[in-house]
Amino acid sequence: MEMKKRISLELRNRAPEEVTELVLDNCLCVTGEIEGLNDTFKELEFLSMANVKLSSLARLPSLNKLRKLELGDNIISGGLEVLAEKCPNLTYLNLSGNKIKDLSTVEALQNLKNLKSLDLFNCEITNLEDYRESIFELLQQITYLDGFDQEDNEAPDSEEEDDEDEDEDEDETGLLEGYEEEEEEEEEEEDEDEADSELGEGEEEVGLSYLMKEEIQDEEDDDEYVEEGEEEEEEEEGLRGEKRKRDAEDDGEEEDD
C-alpha cells in the first residue's frame, strides 16, 4: 500500500489536527520521499515510518509537538539537519538499519537540544573504532545510545515507565484519601468527646446546684423548727409564771382572813 492511501486509512474519519499518533510502517514511498504528510498534523507526538523505503527527509512537514520518530530499516544516508528545523522537540530518534556511515552525518543532530535517546543499531557507523565514545562526545545531550547509557545501563521501557507512574499516582491518591478519611473520623470523635464532656460538666453543675439548694433548704427548715420550739417554751414559762402569781395572791387573801 502506498503511503498516501495508508495515511487516509489511519485517519479513520478524523481530521489531521486530531491525530497524535501515526503508524505507517511497511507501506511504500514511491518516490523515496514522504508523501501525504503535511503541516496540518500539528498535534502529532509519535510518528513511525519503519521499512517504507524512505531515502530523504526533505519533505518532512513541521511537527513541533513530535517527541518520538521511528525511521528504522530505511535507506537514509544523510540530510538529518532537517530534523532540528522541522521537529525541534524530538526526544527519541530511531535510525537503526539505515545507510549512515560516518560521524559527520550524525553531527547534524547536535541542534536537537531535547534529544535523549538515539538508535543507530545496524548502521555502518557502528563499525567505527570507539563508536560509542565518539557519539556520546559528539552529542552530549543524549543519555542513551542504542538502548544503553555510557555505563551500559539499559534504557527503561517508556510504556513500563508510564504504567509505573500511573500506579504511583493511584497509590498516592489512595493514601491521601485514606489519610483524609482518618482525619475526618478523628475530628468527628473529638467533637463527640467534647460534646460529651460539656454535657457531663453541665450535669455535674446541675447536680451540685441541686444539692446546695437542698442543704440551704434543710438549714432554713431547722432554723424555723428551732424558732417554733423556743416560742412554745416561752409561752409555757409565761403560763407557769401567771399561775404562780395567782397562787401567791390566793395565799395572801387566805392569811388576811
d(CA 171, CA 244): 109
Q: Identify the pLDDT of residue 183.
A: 65
Query: Per the domain annotation, does 68 fall within a domain?
Result: yes
> What are 92's strand-pairing partners?
68, 117
Q: Identify the pLDDT of residue 167.
A: 57
Q: Which residues of 65-103 are buried (b: 16+ CB within 10 A; e: fewer)?
A: ebbbbbbbbbebebebbebbebbbebbbbbbbbbebeee
Query: Per the domain annotation, does 201 fall within a domain?
Result: no
Decide: helix, strand or coil at residue 22. strand
Bridge pairing between strands 92-94 and 68-70: parallel
Domain that holds residue 61: 3-145
DSSP 82: H
Largest CA distance in the chain: 178
Cβ neighbors of 170 (< 8 A, separation 6 or more) are none
Report the CATH number at residue 79.
Answer: 3.80.10.10
CB 32 within 8 A of CB 55: yes
Query: Per the domain annotation, does 99 fall within a domain?
Result: yes
d(CA 183, CA 193): 15
Grid coordinates representing 138 are 559528539
Cβ neighbors of 53 (< 8 A, separation 6 or more) are 28, 29, 32, 74, 75
Query: Per the domain annotation, does 238 fall within a domain?
Result: no
Q: Identify the pLDDT of residue 257.
A: 45
Query: Per the domain annotation, does 27 fall within a domain?
Result: yes
Split into its structural domains, the chain has a count of: 1
Is pTM, for the whole model, over 0.75?
no
Query: Per the domain annotation, does 170 fall within a domain?
Result: no
Q: Which residues of 197-230 are buried (b: 16+ CB within 10 A; e: fewer)?
A: eeeeeeeeeeeeeeeeeeeeeeeeeeeeeeeeee
pLDDT block averages, 10 residues each, the chain of length 257: 89 92 93 91 97 95 97 96 96 98 96 97 96 96 96 78 51 53 68 59 52 59 52 63 62 52
Query: Per the domain annotation, does 131 fall within a domain?
Result: yes
Let me know if 27 is exposed, middle or buried by CB neighbors in 10 A (0-12, 13-18, 19+).
buried
| Strand boundaries in 89-241, DSSP class E | 92-94, 117-119, 144-145
Helix and strand element counts for the chain (H, E):
5, 6
Grid coordinates representing 105 are 552525518
Query: Per the domain annotation, does 189 fall within a domain?
Result: no
